[in-house]
Amino acid sequence: MKQRLNKLSKILFSASVIGWIIIGVLLFNVVNADASNSEETNIYKKLKLFSEVLFNVRQNYVEELDVDDLIDSAIKGMMDEVDPHTHYFTPDEFEKFSTDTKGEFGGLGISIDKKGDYITVVAPIEGTPAYRMGILAGDKISKVDGKSVVGVSTDESIKKMRGEPGTKVVISIIRPGVKDELEFEIIREIIKIHSIPYSFKLDNGIGYMRIRQFNANTTSDMREKLDELESEGIRGLIIDLRFNPGGLLREAINTVNEFIGKGKLVVFTKGRAPQTNMEYLTKYNRIRGDYPVVVLINNGSASASEIFAGSMQDWDRGLVVGQTSFGKGSVQRLFPLSDGNGIKITTAKYYIKSGRCIHKELNDKLLKDERVQNGDISKEEIEEMQEEAEDKSHEDVYYTSKGREVYGGGGITPDIEIEQSRLTDLGVDLRRKNVFFNYSVDYLIDHDESVSIKYQASQNDIEALLEFAKLKEIVFEQVEVDSILGWIENELTGNIIGRKFGEVERYKIVLEEDTQLKETMEIFEKCSTLEEMFEYAEELKQNKKEEEKDNK
């Protein structure tokens, strides 16, 4: 009871404090405003009410209250009434958010965001401890070293997870669709952020480029990688933007520039304030050859990566395949406040050349939905809401530069939808407990000289791996092993080669079991030009419509 009273009192008092402070800021404007301005007058009346509550609480509340804490809590509470991307920062938080531009740190290798009370994984970073152990986008971090981080600020949570390279941290995770909490024991490593970690020519003559995020070096890195691929005589290019959380807007525009040339509208912003309405055009007199480009996206592709994919689609310079992107198309601006505090406010939304708005309103609603935060809504219900929103978005039709139909309403809808296969429970456990990585380290101690770049895991190697897994308390039936035997062989092969010959060689092997990439490469076998790809995509779209019509 006492706790409830304290909580209620804090809410009332903090709201009053904010009201009193705002009065000081607005009173001058109100006094000097036209008396007939009813909106200004109404604001003054409400703020006057806040001040009355403030004085009554200060005079009569049973215990002394910490005004500073209440003010910060009240401001953050105010931010909860707007979209989830608008944040208030204390001085320490604001300084870190504004200046934390290091290229490396000792950590786990995850991009995170605060969603409700939970620190949530936006995307694991390839080649890092978190990625190797199978931490997934959407995982909610509940504990760090046994201590709860639910409700803890992003900054404090990061401090708990980062540390000296080589030290151990245990994180507990709540995973959608998994009943029990998962526990990961991770050794911290130096995390280096490379914008384009993988770029090489595939066996079928197609170039492959993975863009992890859009940072300050992305354009220069892309130019260098494209020059190398083109010198090798590629007949097409796959740009993989899956789980790319975005980054710098200008880099997204400049990378699109490489394919569409100078003076082309890529994106524009629209907001309530006139100064937020801006257009962004390409500015470099550069354009690559006309080889077909396929852009691969999924529901973890967000922000700048959506601008890139949607612009390639709008200018008919690339075929977009995969799954509908995340839909992060709002613009935030940082405003410094007094005493070192700061605020990040959503000021506008992104629209790409065809006129489509990238932002998906459903995401903001879900992030605010108490049922989602409390785990009172199932994964199936959320997926159903997302499907309904996507179907509704298809009612808003826009057109590319050549007249192809594309859809608005949030996120980038691919020209060809390709689903990704999901891991079995055994596969999840093998990754979560770092079985492949740890076994490959031990394996190379005894077999280093006999492992060549052409190494392929044998049946004996697989059986030894499974025995190793049992020591990690992973329980399984043979039928489970048989169902993913090819995947186990591929993962083991890739990990052993990766330990000896580097991450790029491991990645090439792992891609062989990537179902989305496999289907993407098949498109190049069916079509030799981008025009043929567009025609193929239209054919698939019409076939789908006919099937849906027949099923009704």
pLDDT given at position 230: 97
- Domain containing residue 392: CATH number: 3.90.226.10
Distance CA 73, CA 435 (A): 43
CA angle 109, 111, 115 (to 5 degrees): 140
User: Is there a single domain that holds both residue 248 and residue 397?
Assistant: yes
Number of domains in the chain: 4
Quick one: pLDDT at residue 349?
92
Question: What local confidence, expressed as pLDDT, does residue 5 receive?
Answer: 44
Q: Give residue 4's pLDDT.
A: 47
Structural domain ending residue among the three candidates 192, 212, 232: 192
What's at 10, amino acid-wise?
A: K
Tokens linked to 176:
């959608």
- Report yes or no on 507 lying in a domain: yes
Any alpha helices (H) in 425-514, and if so which ranges? 425-432, 435-447, 459-471, 478-483, 485-501, 503-510
Domain boundary, last residue among 134, 167, 192 = 192
Please give the chain's pLDDT, 552 residues, in tens: 444 444 444 444 444 445 545 545 454 454 444 544 677 778 888 778 877 877 777 788 788 877 777 777 777 778 888 888 888 888 887 776 665 434 456 789 887 877 778 888 876 877 788 888 888 877 889 999 999 999 888 878 888 998 888 999 999 999 877 888 999 999 999 887 788 999 999 999 999 999 999 988 899 999 999 999 999 999 999 999 999 999 889 999 999 999 999 999 999 999 998 999 999 999 999 999 999 999 999 989 999 999 999 999 999 999 999 999 999 888 888 889 988 888 889 899 999 999 999 988 877 777 667 676 666 777 777 777 777 777 776 778 999 999 999 988 789 999 999 998 888 999 999 988 889 988 988 898 888 889 999 999 999 999 999 999 999 899 999 999 999 999 999 999 998 998 888 888 989 998 998 999 999 999 999 999 999 999 999 999 998 888 877 776
Q: Are residues 413 and 445 in the same domain?
A: no
Give a yes or no: residue 524 inside a domain: no
Q: Do residues 304 and 328 make contact, with C-beta atoms less than 8 angstroms apart? A: no
Same domain, 32 and 108: no
Q: Are 235 and 298 contained in the same domain?
A: yes
Residue where a domain terminates, one of 176, 192, 208 = 192
| Co-location of 280 and 373 in the same domain | yes
- The pLDDT, as a whole number, for residue 247 is 87
Residues 185 and 61 in one domain: no
Verify that 241 and 322 share a domain, yes or no.
yes
Domain encompassing residue 168 = 104-192
pLDDT computed for residue 22 by the predictor? 52
- Do both 205 and 311 map to the same domain? yes
Both 317 and 242 in one domain: the answer is yes
CA atoms within 13 A on the CB side of 267: 31
3-state secondary structure of 69: helix
Q: Which residues of 86-109 are buried (b: 16+ CB within 10 A; e: fewer)?
A: bbbbbeebbeeeeeeeeeebebbb
Residue 552 lies in a domain: no
Residue 32: what pLDDT? 46
- Answer whether residue 538 is part of any domain: no
In a domain, 42, yes or no: yes
Residue 445 within a domain: yes
Where in the sequence numbering do the catalytic residues fall? 303, 314, 328
List the structure tokens of 66. Answer: 């910490």
Classify residue 17: in a domain, yes or no: yes
Q: Name the pTM for this structure.
A: 0.75
* Same domain, yes or no: 391 and 292: yes
For residue 228, being part of any structural domain is answered with: yes
Distant-in-sequence, close-in-space partners of 387: CB < 8 Å, separation ≥ 6: none
Q: Are residues 131 and 113 in the same domain?
A: yes
Whichever domain contains 166, its CATH number is: 2.30.42.10
Distance CA 249, CA 189 (A): 29
pLDDT (0 to 100) of residue 544: 84
Going by C-beta distance under 8 Å and a sequence separation of 6 or more, which residues neighbour residue 38?
Answer: none
Same domain, 178 and 205: no
